[in-house]
Copies of this chain bind each other. A is one copy, B any other.
């Protein structure tokens, strides 16, 4: 299944070293100004080789809108976006085509499908996330109509944590660092790993502001469940936290409860979601990325014949996938909120009467 979302939904396609990656976005409401350059600017944030902190594989990642937009306005028809691949060096993968790179999806795709596209991980490559970012840009456009803002940045790298979250700063930082005072140490952790032929894990913080209260579809498309699926589905994510997250399991009710007064919530331990529905407060999410599995140190693995082999990887890889992951997390979260906005539109007879006017 390559479809995500219920109403505002995307279907993506494409492999790392195939012809193209792309997506079809379904049920985009008609009447939205679709700004091609804006999609491109979102994609550019994710673009490889932008800084020395990401992979040096060069891709211009130019997006093209194939359908669904007429005279700059969405028509209600599906919007197809395509990004043609350019800089595929399949030769990088010749020496590993019959072995399973440790902690990659090579082994599991082979077990599932009996065949695998070994060039850059094929479909399992993080390259596919370009499609999510492009689609996310359109979702963000829609959210902008309602003043909903999705912000993200690097909270931690290799355990070096931010003490504050300055999203404006993050937008300008080469590694999207949320805390200027920790940025240098975090950058150093990335470069040290890179120079050692190794990689490092990292943590991304996402904040969504101005979400109307009432979004989320209980009981099995809850807002937190949908966000959990979207984020856990990003390549390399191993943990997702909402609000207090892991820490909530250590607290007492009297510490964790968000009391209210006439102005609303006095605290936001919940991270903006109660009972799977938005409260109107900020939605706070933390996403933990594992270190890039592609490292250059010699490793031991199995080949397709089941033999144990040693090998060293070649190619160009991100030393810390969390950095570009910050952009991806931002996009998928936007997709979820857009979907919930649409789904909630018919939650009451009162809402329907506003539309059908009786």
Contacts and interface: CB of A to CB of B under 8 A. Distances in A.
Interface string A53-81: 00000000000111110100101111110
A183 interface: no
Interface string A180-214: 00000000000001000011111100000000111
B4 A220 contact: yes
A240 interface: yes
A270 B2 CA distance: 22
A334 interface: no
A214 B115 contact: no
A115 B30 contact: yes
Most buried by B among A64, A76, A145, A294: A76
Interface in A204-262: 212-222, 224-233, 235, 237-246, 248-262
Contacts of A249: 156, 158-159, 201-203, 238-239, 288-290, 322
Nearest to A103: B257
A123 B128 CA distance: 27
Contact of A13 (B80, B235, B271): B80
Interface string A267-294: 0011101111111100000001111111
A147 B357 CA distance: 11
Interface in A1-43: 1-4, 6-7, 9, 11-15, 18-22, 24, 26-27, 29-32
Secondary structure at the A interface, as helix, strand, loop or mixed, is mixed
Q: How many copies does the complex hold?
A: 4
Contact of A221 (B1, B198, B240): B1
A257 B299 contact: yes
Nearest to A241: B239
B308 A258 contact: no
A27 B1 contact: yes
A113 B275 CA distance: 13
A1 B18 contact: no
B291 A30 contact: no
Contacts of A291: 248, 251-253, 255-257
Interface stretch (A44-52, A168-176, A340-348): A340-348
A96 interface: no
A218 B124 contact: yes
Nearest to A10: B220
Nearest to A12: B219
Contacts of A292: 253
A220 B1 contact: yes
Interface in A323-358: 341-356, 358
Contact of A238 (B27, B202, B242, B347): B242
7 contacts: A2-B77, A76-B347, A108-B279, A112-B214, A228-B240, A239-B242, A257-B293
Would you list the 9 A-B pairs with minimal beta carbon distance, nearest first? A105-B275, A228-B232, A225-B233, A108-B277, A199-B253, A30-B113, A229-B229, A112-B214, A159-B250
